[in-house]
Amino acid sequence: MAEQEASGLQVLLSTLQSSHDRDVILNILSVLTDLLSLGTGRRIHYVVSKGGSEALLQALATAARTEPPDHGTLLPLLRLLARVGQRDRKFGLKVQKAEATDIILSLARRHLGHHLHLTHCLWVLQVCASNVTTGTMLGINGAMELLFKVITPYSKRHVRTVRAAIGALAALLRSKSNSRRAVNRGYLGELLRLYQDWHLNDVSNNYIYIRRGLLLCLKYITNIQLGRETFRGSRGMEILFTSVQDCLSCKSLDPIITTATHVLRKCYPKEHLPVVTVRSSYSFPLPGNASAEPPCEGSEGDSESEGEDEAEKDWDNEDVESKEEDCDLETDVNKLRSRPALDRPEQELEKYEALCAELSQNFEELEFESEEKKSLEDRTENLPSAPSHFIPSATSVKHPNCRWRNQSVTEMGPDPGEEDFKVPFQSWRKKEDCIWDKNDEKRDIAEETQDKDFCEEEDPSRSHVFALCPLPKDVAWYKKMFYPHCEASINPSSEERLESSDIIRNLLEKHHIPFHSPCFYAARAKCVKSIPGYRELAFPDFWGHQPPPYSKPVLERKHGVQRDKVLDDVRRLIQPGDVIGRTVFDLDDPSGSSPAAPGCLTFFSKFESGNLRKAIQVREFEYDLIMNADVNSSQHHQWFYFEVRDMKAAVPYRFNIINCEKFNSQFNYGMQLVMYSVREALQGRPRWIRAGQEICYYKNHYRCSAAAGGGVRGRFYYTLTFSIKFPHKDDVCYLAYHYPYTYSTMMSHLDILEQNRNPKKVYWRQQTLCQTLGGNPCPLLTITAMPESKNRHDLEQFCSRPYAFLTARVHPGESNSSWVMKGTLEFLVSSDPIAELLRKCFIFKIVPMLNPDGVINGNLRCSLSGDDLNRQWLTPSSQLHPTIYHAKGLLYYLRSIGRAPLVFCDYHGHSQKKNVFLYGCSIKETLWQAGCMVDTAVVTEDVGYRTLPKILDKVAPAFVMNSCSFLVEKSRASTARVVVWKEMGVLRSYTMESTYCSCSHGLYRGLQLGTQELEEMGSKFCLGLLILHLKSLPCSKELMAQAALLLDLEEEITDRAQRRCSNSSLESDDEPPCAEEIDYDTASSSDGEEEFLELDQEIQECLSCVEGETEDEVTTGQTCSSRALRGLYISSQPAANSTALPLGSTALGLYSGFESSPV
């Protein structure tokens, strides 16, 4: 049947090309018109595949040579050419080959006075010009001059012809040579005047397509630099801005607003960031001759000659959604299966034996309790005492989280190179001068009883904790407490000191956040080595965080918010009267910051993990903020964390972070930043909350240098903008990209866990893996169950347990990974029966923070060397990448003694995807995805790598199996998961990604994940490991029976929770398009398909005239009447006595069989 259809269509097309019989041609055109007017574009593609475009072009050439022209044939032929040509990707080349460009132009010129015929010619001209080469030829041959004769001067006569001419002109202006020609001949000014005329006279909004068509012409003509300069010189910015203001109140005008906004944003004068240099404010001298600016992966890319359009290629990193071509997949089976040689001498591995003391531990010679106490005393001799904390079980209510900032105490002692560290090292005992602002004492945060409640809904039952406590009068009270020598510089009276001391004591006595102690945190923070030499503590880290009693849904995006923000930015240029432009905070030049004016916010970021480089007051309640690049780098801007104070209550402040780098963000899909209020904390609500309204993320006009753009020229930064109403006047608040988790928070948390575990049941050993480049210790934990007794069998069982190797926070900006790790650690040392069983099944080696220096100094991605440490696993340097070098060395050692881990998992955060999911490694899945033939007899693979994610999909509410991937990309060859998989032979080697935003499936669908949900994921990962162990390894009958009882209970709880959720995991994980995405890529051709749909509509509207409509709504004097058009339409039908080609079985089979066509 298909062959019959194909042969029938080919007969028709062949006859169309060769026949000179008018009636035969009209019949064929009628059949083709009927065929293509039904169904979808698939029919047109089928006709194109059978040579339809060539046949129609040949027929056009024949009909055009007829004198006088036969319009009865030409009109249906031109309509078919317009419909077929727009879906033929090679139509422009076919037009050139048929030498039809001159024919089409000639027909258009000939019919300038006959608007119906001219309209048909213009449709075909538009389709031809969609090919840039053909459009350039048409421009050279005078097509633009012809079109400007049609569209000027302004007139509402023949609007259908004007609309077609504007569509053809927009298509021509896609060619940059045509755009230059148009600018040089003054057409840009004509277009602006014409747009103004249509805008001012279209009161009823009947000509939206014409107005938008003119804007598209301006959009394409401003793709070139000359066009943008001329546009600005012709007051185009003012004209479009004013016209858009008139359209904002009418939703039907959104197409006009969107296109105009695009033009305004693109033509906004480009400039560099208002900083002295894009390199980080912090630099660190590297050992030896190492370069401080490493080459950036994925930096190769083409740049436009105009320097405008950016190569939209995302950074090559594990935590960015991969949109790379399949060619990035590793298809060399030998490389996938190879196990490279050691990257160091084998004898060097012996030193890692000291990090595996559990394998040689002689428990018969130890007193468990006394040894543990002794070890703890050695580690915490300089730490203040901390209150006892209950370590919860899985059945208890989930306890909140806590944290704080700077410090480290290690078994290995201070770094031998500490004396070479350029920044003064703050000792707990050392008396040093404080440098915080004396104006701190003037900032009164005394609580007013009449203050309105916090803008976020809170649980009233939680607000009583400190409700009756008098609040300190000085915002720096906690600094005075831990730095008493600084009080002399502030000169408080003895009475004030006594009053402050009483208040502080009262607050601390009532302070209780599980697994957090301000005293422990302060002690740890004193020992941290940072490049700026931090001397201040961020209050949220010091005081701690307690999760709110509710989960917050994703923020619903307000319609038009992005365009409103963009237009507000443009207003700075058009109406600069209210622009202040005052620098109020500058990390590079503190003396250059203007003193705080009345009503002006005060910013600060020089504390652990803080990141804010510069703050500029734009208007009274609007600020531009600039983030600091990673140390020894010019790029990696995403993480921010800063303090703001001196605000007014209930006033919407707008903040614009203007140097973001990524091409899209979850901020466009409902994600909010987090905020912490000191006043709220002292009232009994010490918590980070999701905050911010009118949030959007878009490309701005700040140009990246080649260094800042990763070697790619022509890139631009992006703006994250949001508005916040602070809950209290003169509060001290902190804003951050995500829930901060600092190095000192981790270290103090480890101290508390060690102090509060049960030493008779939990084997805990904290060692120092190595010293970082900045001189901070990187802790290594060993956690397992103590042997049940000292008999030989139990000791052998202890030593023979398989290893699980867990790491986190290799990327400093991924603080969510630390919260997941926190949940893992708390569960592992808890008294939960499942945790006890899990400890008997595994020996855990855990590096909770692989990049302490990056976390301390507020980096997003790199270490002090300026390197992404998760790209250094292939050949790490012992000097530049010590944590990776020694973590890999420890893994090498475990493999060398036959104890390679059963599971390796590196905890990460993902900024562009929802849910929690795993990346793993599979040879077969990689080859299948790349389209390679896989010989299953040669390529064999254990599918056990899928077991753990399948388990987590069932037990962890935030985990989604459909989001997981097991592909091995070439660009990921140096990441932890791929190197451990290949070199250590670990089948279950994973990266676990946690979203910053929300879940698209399951119990947490539509809810932003908080620290409680992230910690829960860490504990559920442990549960998954236990089930994996029971499924994969032989176990004793006693252990199996115990596990069966516990897991049945756990499964019942999980099933009950899943039944409460009606959403399945079968939905697509693809991110929906942004609700209001403005395309700022000037090379974009995204309008093409929309324009073709409009062209189809135009053709259909023209044909509808046979039902009685006139061709123009104003006059019919110079147009073809509806009767004439009906006559033309009827004349295209076969006559009763026609000698037309009979529609025999072949032709009828073609017509009726199209519905079943394989196309």
Annotated catalytic sites, by residue?
993
Tokens of 294: 């490493």
| Residue 940: strand pairing partners | none
Residue burial 842-853, b: 16+ Cβ < 10 Å; e: rest: bbbbbbbbbbbb
Q: How far apart are CA 690 and CA 672, in angstroms?
A: 6
3-class state of residue 915 by DSSP: coil
The CA distances from residue 872 to 297, 819, 905, 923, in Å, are: 12, 24, 17, 22
Mention every residue, 6+ apart, whose C-beta is less than 8 A from residue 183.
221, 224, 226, 227, 230
Q: The sheet that has 716-725: what strands, in order across it? A: 271-272, 693-703, 716-725, 652-660, 622-626, 614-619, 582-586
**Residue 968: closest CA among 246, 318, 262:** 318
Q: How far apart are CA 1015 and CA 1116, in angstroms?
A: 74
3-class state of residue 666 by DSSP: helix
Cβ atoms of 200 and 247 closer than 8 Å: no
Q: How far apart are CA 1017 and CA 96, in angstroms?
A: 62
Question: For 973, phi and psi rounded to 5 degrees?
Answer: -60, -25
Element (H, E) at 136: helix 132-140
Tokens of 36: 């293509």
Cβ atoms of 536 and 607 closer than 8 Å: yes
Q: Dihedral through CA 557, CA 558, CA 563, CA 564, nearest 10?
A: -130
Q: How far apart are CA 557 and CA 1143, in angstroms?
A: 57
Q: How far apart are CA 419 and CA 413, in angstroms?
A: 14
Q: Is the peptide bond before 68 cis (omega within 30 degrees of 0)?
A: yes
Q: How far apart are CA 643 and CA 606, in angstroms?
A: 9
Q: How far apart are CA 874 and CA 124, in angstroms?
A: 57
Residue labelled with tokens 């009767």: 1123
Beta strands in 34-176, from DSSP E residues, in sequence order: none
Number of helical (H) and strand (E) elements in the chain, helices listed first? 40, 19
* Reduced 3-state DSSP string for 673-731: EEEEEHHHHHCCCCCEEEECEEEEEEEEEEECCCCCCCCCCCCEEEEEEEEEECCCCCC
Burial zone of 959 (CB within 10 Å; 0-12 exposed, 13-18 middle, 19+ buried): buried
| Residue 602: strand pairing partners | 645
3-class state of residue 843 by DSSP: strand
Cβ atoms of 735 and 641 closer than 8 Å: yes
Mention every residue, 6+ apart, whose C-beta is less than 8 A from residue 93.
131, 133, 134
Mention every residue, 6+ apart, whose C-beta is less than 8 A from residue 40.
none
In single-letter form, the type of residue at position 616 comes to I
Strand-pair category, 988-995 with 762-771: unpaired
In single-letter form, the type of residue at position 278 comes to V
Mention every residue, 6+ apart, whose C-beta is less than 8 A from residue 796.
none
Cβ atoms of 432 and 426 closer than 8 Å: yes
Cβ atoms of 710 and 296 closer than 8 Å: yes
Q: How far apart are CA 1046 and CA 1037, in angstroms?
A: 14
Cβ atoms of 1018 and 823 closer than 8 Å: yes
